[in-house]
Amino acid sequence: MITVFELFRSLTCHSPPTYNYHDCSGNKTTTADYGSDLTTLLDGLSSKASANSFYNDSLNGIFGLFLCRNDVNTSRCQNCVNYATQLLPELCLTTPRAIVWYEECMLRYSNINFFGQMELRPAFLRWNAENSSSPLEPYMGVGALYYDLVKLAPHENNFFLTKERRVPSGNETRFGLAQCSRDINSSSCSACLKGLEARINECCKERKGWRLATPSCHIRYETYKFYNELPTPAAAAPQKEDGGQNEEILLRSDEDHSGDMHHFSLASIQAATDNFSDSNKLGEGGFGPVYKGKLPSGKEIAVKRLSMKSRQGLEEFKNEVKLIIKLQHKNLVRLLGYCLEEDEKILVYEFLSNTSLDAFLFDPETVKVLDWEKRSNIVTGTARGLQYLHEESRLKVIHRDFKASNVLLDDEMNPKISDFGTARIFGGNQIEANTERVVGTYGYMAPEYALEGLFSNKSDVYSFGILMLEILSGKKNRGPYQQDGGQNLAIYAWKLWNEGKGKELIDPNIANDCPIDEAVRWIHIALLCVQDDPALRPTMSTAILMLRSKSVDLPQPSTPPYSATRFVTMSDQSTTIDTGSDLLASDPFSTTISIPR
C-alpha cells in the first residue's frame, strides 16, 4: 500500500504542506465512472485554488470542497490544495467518502451531499503531552480563549478568527485560532465550535497546546504564535457630509501621531444642535451637558460640551480624544470627532437612541423594558468592553469612572461604555498607580481608590461588581436598605446572599421570568468583584469566564464589603478628591464634603 510519505516524495514541484490526518469511509465499492468523475471534480477544485481560499462543487453525485486557512497566502493555499487533490484519492482508493487535514488547508469529498450540513465526525485531535505549569491555566488560559473564539468567530469575515491573551497570573501569552467551513451559516458555525467543548474539557484543558478539527470547524490553542497576522484594512478616506458642507476637516493630531481625527468647526456644531438648544439637551454629566445633533446629511450625533466652569476641562478633553481614537470595540462608544475653538471644548460621538442605562434601570416604568435577556446582555457586553480596555487593546486602559450613566444603549439595547475623560493608560507591566487627584463617582469607587488614591484594573472590576448588583436588583448603589440607614447595596446584597436569601435581591420585574439559580450565581460573582482586597477580586477575563461557564467553581466572597461611602454624602456625579489633604474639592455639580482620614 502506498504511504503518505511516499506520496509526498513523488510530489516534488513544491515543498509539501504539513500533513495532519485523513479519514476514509463508506462502502468500499467505487466504479470506474466514479473514479473518472472524482478526478475531474478534484482537478476543477484544484484550479479554483489559484483565486479562492474556499470553493465547493459537485459532479454526477460527487460533492467536494476545499478550505484554506484564512491567514495562508494564495500560493501556499494553491500548493496545499494541489497536494491534497492528488494525495487523498490515493489514500482512499476504494471508498466514496474522504477528508484530509493539512496545516494549511482541508479537502473533502463524498457521494452524499454534505453542503450546508454541520458535521462533527470524523474528527482529528492532537495535543502536547506536557501539562501547563500553572494550576489556573485551564481557566485563565484555555477557558478564556476558547470562549472568546467560540463567541466571535461565527461573526467574523470568512468565519475565521485568531486571538491572543495574556495570562493574568503572569507575563505569558496564549494564542488561539478558530475557523468554520464556509458552506455552513453563522449559527451552524457557532453550534460546531460549541460542540467541541466537551471533548476539549475531557482531554486538553491542562495541556500546553492542542488542536481539534472536524469537517465543519476547527480550533487550536498554543503557548506560541503559530499563525500569520492578517493585514489590517486601510482606513477609508473620510467623506464630507451631503451638500458639500465643510463641517468635517481631517487633521493629524499634533499630540498623537497614531491616527487621523475629525475636527468639526464650531459653526457646524452650533447648526447641528440648534445652537445648543435646551430642547436638544440629552443630559448633564460631571464635565458638562450632552446634546443631540443632526448633520446636514441627516446623520444624528451626540455632542458633549465640556463645562467652562469645570476644573476638569482641557486635560480630560485632550486625554479623551487621544485615548478613544486608539480604541475600537463594539462595546465602546465611537468617537466621531472633536471641536476645539475659541473657549469651547467639544466631543462628537455616535448617537445612541436609548441614551444611558440609568435612564432605564432606575425609572419605575422604563425598567420593565429590561427583561432578563437584555440585562444579561448588558452585563456581558460591558464586561467584554472592560476586558478589552484592560487586556486586549494596544493600550492598557483603566476607566476609573465606570457606572450606569456611562453605559449607553443602542437601538437593540446593546451596551457601549462611554466617557473616557478620567481614564488612565498603564504602560508595560504596570499593574497599579497612585494619584493625589481621585476622580470618579462615590458608590462605584473601590475603597483603596477613594481613600488612598490607589487604582488598577481591579478598581474597574469593583465598579463592574457594583453595576452588576444594580442591574440584578434594579436598585441604586446608595441606600439605606435597612432601618438603620447605614448600608449600601454591596453590603445589603452580601448579607442576603450570606443568609441564603440571595434571590430576595433580584428585581421583582424579572424574578418570575429569569433563571433564578443563574441570577443568584451572578450575585455571587458580583460579590467577588466588590471584595475589599483588590487581590481577591477576579480580573475581567476571569469574571467573564465565571459568567459564561457554570462549570467554573466560584470561591466564597470575603467578609462584608468595606464601603468608602459610609463617610460621605452620596452623589451620582463624577467627583474629584485631593487625597493629599482633608478637603474634597468637587465638580460644581457635586457636593463638597470632608473625609475622615
Cα 440 to Cα 252: distance, rounded to the nearest angstrom: 31
Q: Which residue has the cell 476622580?
A: 439
User: CA 9, CA 3: separation in Å to the nearest integer?
Assistant: 10
Cα gap 563→559, rounded to integer Å = 12
Q: Cell digits for 416?
A: 457601549
d(CA 117, CA 184): 6
Report the Cα–Cα distance between both ends of the chain, in Å, rounded.
84
Ramachandran region, residue 85 (left: φ > 0; alpha: ψ -120 to 50; beta: rest): alpha
Dist. CA 371–CA 378, nearest whole Å: 11
Could you give the CA distance from residue 179 to residue 157 in angstroms, rounded to a whole number?
10
Q: Report the distance separating Cα 28 and Cα 419, nearest Å.
A: 66
Mark whether 274 is an active-site residue. Answer: no
3-state secondary structure of 451: helix
HEC secondary structure over 78-136: HHHHHHHHHHHHHHCCCCCEEEEEECCEEEEEECCCCCCCCCCCCCEEEECCCECCCCC
What cell was used for 198? 466537551
The string of DSSP letters for 473-539 reads H---S----STT----HHHHHHHHHHTT-GGGGS-HHHHTTS-HHHHHHHHHHHHHHT-SSGGGSPP
Catalytic residue (one of 148, 183, 358, 401):
401
SS (H, E, C) 304-372: EECCCCCCCCHHHHHHHHHHHCCCCCCCECCEEEEEEECCEEEEEEECCCCCEHHHHHCCCCHHHHCCH
Report, as residue numbers or ranges, the catalytic residues: 401
